[in-house]
Amino acid sequence: MTAGLDPVKLMKQEVGRAAANRVQYGSIVGLGTGSTTAFAIQFLGERLKSGELKDIKGIPTSFQASVLAKQYGIPLTTLDEIDKIDIAIDGADEVDPNKNLIKGGGAAHTREKIVDSLADLFIVVVDSSKLVERLGSTFPLPLEVLPVAISPVTKAVEKLGGIPELRMAVKKDGPVITDQGNMIIDVKFDAIDNPAEMEKTLNNIPGVLDNGLFVNVADIILVGEVKDGQPSVREI
């Protein structure tokens, strides 16, 4: 490994590269959000620039993904203009043994769920620290909530046994605002024993736009690890 380079950054790069290499000629690609996915977007752009890959279009899941795609020369399209999404690449905050996910650390999970669920192949890019035995054990569950409904949603979540906290912005005053103009409530549960039922229950609370549980959506998990200072990627 080259001296002075961060092995964790190198590992994220290798996971992003492995995912980008799965994209084929003529694909419609869902472009996720997050630091590892950003490398995948970068490598897709490099493949296009070199001529190794041609005729792809991206569907961004966030403003961040849109900006990165434009920066690296990836043409963009919209859900209104396409019939299908061939492949989506996105990160996760937790991955359980059944490939169920918690997402939403970047406050983009609502759009991510739309795009990732529509893809014929959804590839999740993570490092090994995101692998858990049970969802909710290391990361709170994000809910995107209409601002007018923050108080009633908070009370409803408490009745379900959750501990809710309004997500506040960093380096600015006030709460985090999503690309849709809503707020995020992060909910800590002692256990999420049935993710599929919990997903439905939370989404049935009036005012909740969507939650960060992704059940039976992921197809392939690419896991980055650092062993003896060297980055490696394995597939689940």
* Catalytic residue IDs: 112
Q: What's the farthest any 2 CA atoms get from each other in the chain?
A: 55
Measured CA to CA, the distance from residue 50 to residue 73 in angstroms comes to: 11
Structure tokens at 6: 């961060």
Q: Which of 150, 70, 143, 72 is nearest to 113 (CA)?
A: 143
Helices 35-50 and 63-71: crossing angle in degrees, nearest 10, is: 30
The answer to whether 203 and 210 are in contact (CB under 8 A) is: yes
Measured CA to CA, the distance from residue 146 to residue 184 in angstroms comes to: 9
Interstrand relation of 28-31 and 57-60 (parallel, antiparallel or unpaired): parallel
Q: Say whether 131 sits in a helix, a strand or coil.
A: strand
Q: Say whether 187 sits in a helix, a strand or coil.
A: strand
Compute how many other C-beta atoms are within 10 angstroms of the C-beta atom of residue 199.
Answer: 21
